[in-house]
């Protein structure tokens, strides 16, 4: 097993900056965005709901997602010592058992805030928290297999926040079309997670983590990621078109075409362009999510008016 570097002077507790770095604010965006999409897609009025919606976004991003990052870094500390030794735990800036302590404290805080938003949100948050721990921690450690682990994260980061927000805003389960769109975007996020695996191929291979680039090689993994992202968005386009939401379908089609152009460049050099594609292609992907959410909102408002 890889040894954690000890070149940094030992400290008895982490600095606030180290705690923030452990929670990785840059990763909070996807679930926060998905929660916002769900709230918008519900068609519920936002004027008197801004506080619970804002609290829900806080729960999805800094709290639950931040917790998942702390859990993952704690149980991945030996892999990170190979792949990214400058991270807070292997570098020594998060000493001793503090990484685990932060993960546990954030879990408790997440559930306390979820409890303020009602039983439906609490149960959804509990499910998300269980998946976060199961993804990284033994005995499940879903991330050991890229097919399973990436699917768990995609559903946790996209589908679950979207449906939770819509349910909380409406006070009941959202329409089937909303659930299906949220499910498709969560499944498509499997490809996004595969992109993230390209940066850690060496360490994953050494530590026995069967990510898709390790299982199938970088070229095939890149093709799989692109196919997964493209086909799920085609499903969204068909669902929107079937509901007569032609503008939303056209906008999602446009962002998919632009992603396709980016994919062509990515597929020519998967390892060299994975980070580049994550910046441009994923940005387009989440733009399509919002376009779909707005289309669903217009559909919901029209149905309320007719009703």
pLDDT (average), residues 284-302: 91
Which tokens go with 300? 């919901």
Tens of pLDDT, residues 108-141: 999 999 999 888 899 999 999 999 999 999 999 9
What pTM was computed for the model? Answer: 0.89
Among the listed ranges 67-71, 78-82, 212-216, 222-226, which one has the minimum average pLDDT value?
A: 78-82
CA-to-CA separations, 98 to 89, 104, 106, 129, 284, in angstroms, rounded: 9, 10, 12, 19, 37
pLDDT surpassing 60 at residue 306: no
Determine the pLDDT at residue 47: 66
Q: pLDDT averaged over the chain?
A: 91
User: At a CB cut-off of 8 Å and minimum separation 6, what does 103 contact?
Assistant: 67, 70, 71, 74
Tens of pLDDT, residues 151-176: 999 999 999 999 999 988 888 889 99
Determine the pLDDT at residue 232: 98
**Boundaries of every domain in the chain:** 16-306
Q: What is the signed CA dihedral for 36, 42, 43, 45, rounded to 10 degrees?
A: -70
pLDDT surpassing 60 at residue 1: no
Determine the pLDDT at residue 173: 85
User: At a CB cut-off of 8 Å and minimum separation 6, what does 42 contact?
Assistant: 165, 166, 169, 170, 174, 178, 297, 300
pLDDT (average), residues 8-24: 83
CA-to-CA separations, 74 to 4, 80, 273, in angstroms, rounded: 12, 10, 28
pLDDT (average), residues 267-296: 94
Tens of pLDDT, residues 176-209: 999 999 999 999 999 999 999 998 898 889 888 8
Tens of pLDDT, residues 204-250: 898 888 999 999 999 999 999 999 999 999 999 999 999 999 999 99
Determine the pLDDT at residue 24: 95
Q: Which has the higher per-residue pLDDT, 273 or 79? A: 273
Determine the pLDDT at residue 203: 83
Determine the pLDDT at residue 2: 44
pLDDT band at 48 (very low <50, low <70, confident <90, very high): low
**End-to-end C-alpha distance for the chain, whole angstroms:** 63
pLDDT surpassing 60 at residue 8: no
pLDDT surpassing 50 at residue 45: yes
């Amino acid at each position: 097993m890889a040894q954690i570097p000890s070149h940094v002077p030992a400290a008895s507790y982490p600095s606030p900056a180290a705690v923030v770095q452990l929670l990785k604010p840059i990763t909070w965006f996807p679930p926060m965005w998905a929660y916002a999409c769900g709230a918008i897609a519900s068609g519920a009025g936002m004027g008197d709901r801004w506080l619970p919606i804002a609290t829900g976004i806080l729960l999805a991003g800094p709290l639950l997602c931040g917790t998942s990052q702390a859990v993952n870094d704690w149980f991945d500390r030996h892999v990170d010592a190979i792949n990214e030794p400058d991270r807070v735990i292997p570098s020594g800036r998060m000493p001793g058992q503090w990484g685990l302590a932060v993960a546990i404290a954030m879990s408790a805080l997440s559930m306390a805030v979820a409890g303020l938003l009602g039983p439906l949100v609490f149960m959804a948050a509990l499910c998300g928290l269980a998946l976060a721990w199961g993804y990284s921690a033994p005995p499940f450690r879903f991330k050991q297999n890229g097919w399973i682990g990436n699917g768990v994260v995609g559903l946790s980061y996209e589908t679950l926040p979207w449906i939770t927000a819509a349910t909380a805003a409406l006070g009941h389960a959202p329409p089937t079309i909303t659930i299906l769109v949220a499910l498709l975007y969560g499944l498509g996020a499997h490809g996004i997670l595969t992109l993230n695996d390209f940066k850690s191929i060496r360490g994953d291979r050494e530590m026995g983590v069967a990510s898709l680039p390790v299982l199938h090689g970088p070229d095939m993994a890149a093709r799989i990621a692109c196919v997964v992202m493209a086909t799920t968005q085609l499903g969204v386009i068909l669902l929107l078109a079937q509901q007569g939401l032609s503008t939303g379908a056209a906008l999602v089609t446009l962002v998919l075409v632009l992603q396709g152009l980016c994919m062509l460049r990515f597929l020519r050099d998967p390892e060299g362009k994975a980070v580049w594609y994550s910046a441009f292609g994923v940005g387009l992907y989440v733009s399509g999510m919002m376009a779909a959410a707005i289309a669903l909102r217009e559909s919901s408002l029209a149905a309320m008016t007719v009703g």
